Amino acid sequence: MNTRVKRLALPLGGALAATSMIGATMVASAEASTAPAKKVVSLASSSSAQKVADYWTSNRGANFKAAAQYTANSQVAGKVKLGGGDAKADGKAGSVPPIGLEKVTPTKVKNVNLPKTIGKVFFTVGDKEYWCSGSSVQAKYRNLVATAGHCVFDEGLQNGALDNWVFVPGYYQGKAPWGIYVGKAAYTHYDLAVYEDYDSDYAFVTVYNGIAYAGEKAVSKDAYDKWQGYKYAKDVEITAAEYKKCFDENGGETFDCWAKTTGSEVVVPWTTEGADTATKEVTKEEFDKAASVPMNQNYHQAKELTRTDIVDEATYKAYTGPGYKKIVDGAFTITHYYVAYKVKKSSSTKYYKTVFIIELYKDAGRLGDNVGGQGFTWNQKVGQPVYIFGYPAAPHPDGDKPFTGVTPKWCYGKTFAAKPAAKFKAEAQIGLKCSMTAGSSGAPWILKYSSTKRLGYINGVSSLIGDADGNGRIDFSTSPYFDSETYAIYKSAANLWSGKIVTADGDLVTKA
């Protein structure tokens, strides 16, 4: 299994760190002061995207339901001291507004309304299906997802990216209310992709237009064979006239149509006119009863069929049929007895045809048009309040399992500089007190969230989790600090077009 699956819990050296609770003010968008070495990988061409979509849509979404949170059940034990890392700005603060909004005013409400932008990121490692959390984020072509870098990249794989990568906003129990979005290309910092430096544990993924279920259609065998999407065949009963038409249309061959004749017989008195004679093997007792017609009006001995076979001892002992077993002068014999009787036979013919069904898709449109997109911000002061929205599922180290991963959960609080975690090369992450367990990787950290508009500014993504006080309970999450380099990588991805993967006839694109 991919080793990255085991890297979601901080080691004993990881910790929280408190900082001053100083608010930060959003400022106008600023250009990045540096141009970091970004890592870009292709996730799926338009032709291979079809195969990715098929993987998740076939079998009525069974692979979605089989997916597990992306982590091993690593347990963190022992009390961890608090300390501060190096999370700080490398230039001027900046922001990009959410889709459709120039400004978001934070709101405080008793019940937090979940953002439409969040969802699950699905992918495979070998033959296993996993999920992380993620969110739609503002982009020129409204086609961008923000998540954790380790939910996309792994240098141990052939092209450095996880397979069959899709984003499903609002995913719930196998349903994709706003469509399934196949990843096209992923962007992260070179340090994360190559050196597994979790200070850059973020990724921005361009996705194709979504695909959505659009019903089923019966088609010809030729069209069925050419169909690239989900399909199945079933046998249905047809009328005799429909069978004849099918037979004639195929030049005297049945091909996909056939007739099936079934018969039945009823035992009748021996004297019934027009009845057919039938025979069957019976026990010696039943044969003897049939010797007298008054005793049994229907069955008569068929002495001409009676025979005695001499067999070996093994066959004799193994035989359990109606024949009469007897040892005669040391020979093992089995005598078979038969009776004759009269029956009335009847038959019926039913006609069938194989119907070939294809599942149609429709273009669900762009991600941002359907669910919106959070804004993006960088170089913000540590200590501001944020929300985290994710899909935790794994149990706590003490075995308690409060989350199912079926519905999203949230945490709220003020960020602080997290203590360095050497195992993950993390020296400049921010932390938040949060009980979310594994499955929440990639969850957006949203600054200045408006519960009425369900929008704010992504200021981080969940990277690591840990147990600060050693009581067997996950109690904090961390995120890379979003600085000017993060913005530069985000901007590279946010200006790229993706396109659609569904044709006008409801098929998936099959040509690159």
End of a domain among 333, 358, 383? 358
Asked whether the beta carbons of 278 and 338 are under 8 A apart, the reply is no
Residue 15 covered by a domain: yes
Residues 18 and 140 reside in one and the same domain: yes
In a domain, 512, yes or no: no
Q: Mark whether 158 and 283 lie in a shared domain.
A: no
Distances from the Cα of 375 to the Cα of 65, 257, 381, angstroms? 31, 58, 17
Q: Is residue 45 part of a domain?
A: yes
Which residues, 6+ apart, have CB-to-CB distance to 40 below 8 Å? 185, 186, 187, 492
Token pair in block for residue 375? 């804004």
> CATH number, domain at 414?
2.40.10.120
Would you say residue 37 lies in a domain? Answer: yes
Residues 66 and 180 in one domain: yes
pLDDT value, residue 412: 95
Q: 64: which DSSP letter?
A: H
d(CA 19, CA 31): 27
d(CA 383, CA 318): 84
Report pLDDT digits (tens) over 299-316: 989 899 999 999 999 999
Indicate the pLDDT class of residue 479, thresholds 50, 70 and 90.
Answer: very high
Average pLDDT value for the chain: 84
- Tokens 């009863």, residue located: 289
Whole-number pLDDT of residue 265: 86
Residues 343 and 354 in one domain: no
| Residue type at position 125 | V
Q: What is the pLDDT of residue 346?
A: 85
Final residue in a domain of this structure, among 358, 383, 407: 358
Pairing mode of beta strands 416-417, 409-414: unpaired
Same domain, 285 and 229: no
What pLDDT is recorded for position 254? 58
* 154 and 270 housed in the same domain: no
pLDDT of res. 157: 62
What whole-number distance in Å separates Cα of residue 174 and Cα of residue 167?
13
pLDDT at 243 over 60: yes
CA distance 254 to 475: 68
User: What total number of domains does the chain contain?
Assistant: 3
Q: What is the pLDDT confidence band of residue 467, given thresholds at 50, 70 and 90?
A: confident
CA distance readout (Å), 19 to 178, 222, 276, 335, 469? 40, 67, 99, 98, 18
DSSP at 6: G
Is the pLDDT reported for residue 345 higher than 90?
no
Are 73 and 144 within one domain? yes
Assess whether 193 and 226 both reside in one domain.
no
Record the tokens describing residue 254, joined without a space: 């049945």
User: How high is the pLDDT of residue 82?
Assistant: 46
Q: What is the pLDDT of residue 468?
A: 85
**pLDDT tens digit string along 377-435?**
999 999 999 999 999 999 998 999 999 999 999 999 999 998 888 888 888 899 999 99
Which pLDDT score, from 0 to 100, does residue 81 have? Answer: 41
For residues 486 and 365, what is the distance between their CA atoms, to the nearest angstrom?
Answer: 28
Residue 466, number of CB atoms within 10 A of its CB: 25
Q: 411 near 130, Cβ under 8 Å?
A: no
Distance CA 220, CA 229 (A): 15
151 vs 19, more confident? 151
Domain of 254, in residue numbers: 216-259+350-358
The residue among 293 and 496 whose pLDDT is bigger is: 496
Q: Is 343 domain-assigned?
A: yes
Confidence at residue 28, expressed as pLDDT on a 0 to 100 scale:
33
pLDDT of residue 158: 59
Q: In the predicted model, is pLDDT for residue 79 greater than 50?
A: no
pLDDT digits (tens, 9 = 90+) for 32-65: 345 668 899 999 998 899 889 889 987 777 889 8
Cα distances (Å, whole numbers) of residue 498 to 143, 179, 357, 440: 7, 16, 30, 27
Residue 93 lies in a domain: yes
Do 67 and 92 reside in the same domain of the chain? yes
State whether 122 and 39 are in the same domain.
yes
Does 500 or 86 have the greater pLDDT score?
Answer: 500
Rounded Cα–Cα distance for residues 188 and 461 (Å): 13
Q: Is the pLDDT of residue 5 over 60?
A: no
Q: What is the mean pLDDT of residues 339-356?
A: 89
**Taking 70 as the threshold, does the pLDDT of residue 207 lie above it?**
yes
In a domain, 408, yes or no: yes
pLDDT at 409: 94
Distance, CA of 157 to CA of 139 (rounded, Å): 28
Residue 195 has pLDDT above 80, yes or no: yes
Which pair of tokens denotes residue 478? 């961390």
> Per-residue pLDDT averaged across 135-159, rounded?
89
Q: What is the mean pLDDT of residues 236-265?
A: 80
Q: Which of 394, 397, 483 is nearest to 441 (CA)?
A: 394
Pairwise CA distance, residues 189 & 183, whole Å: 18
Lowest mean pLDDT of 14-23, 77-86, 114-123, 348-357, name the range. Answer: 14-23
Residue 140, amino acid: K
pLDDT at residue 32, as a whole number: 39
Mean of the pLDDT values across residues 171-197? Answer: 90
Determine, yes or no, domain membership for 500.
Answer: no
- Regarding whether 178 and 45 lie in a shared domain, the answer is yes
| Domain finish residue from 347, 382, 408 | 347
Q: Are 443 and 118 in contact (CB under 8 A)?
A: yes
User: In whole angstroms, what separates CA 352 from the centre of its chain?
Assistant: 35
What average pLDDT does the segment 335-349 reach? 91
Same domain, 322 and 403: no
Strands (E), 159-199: 163-169, 181-189
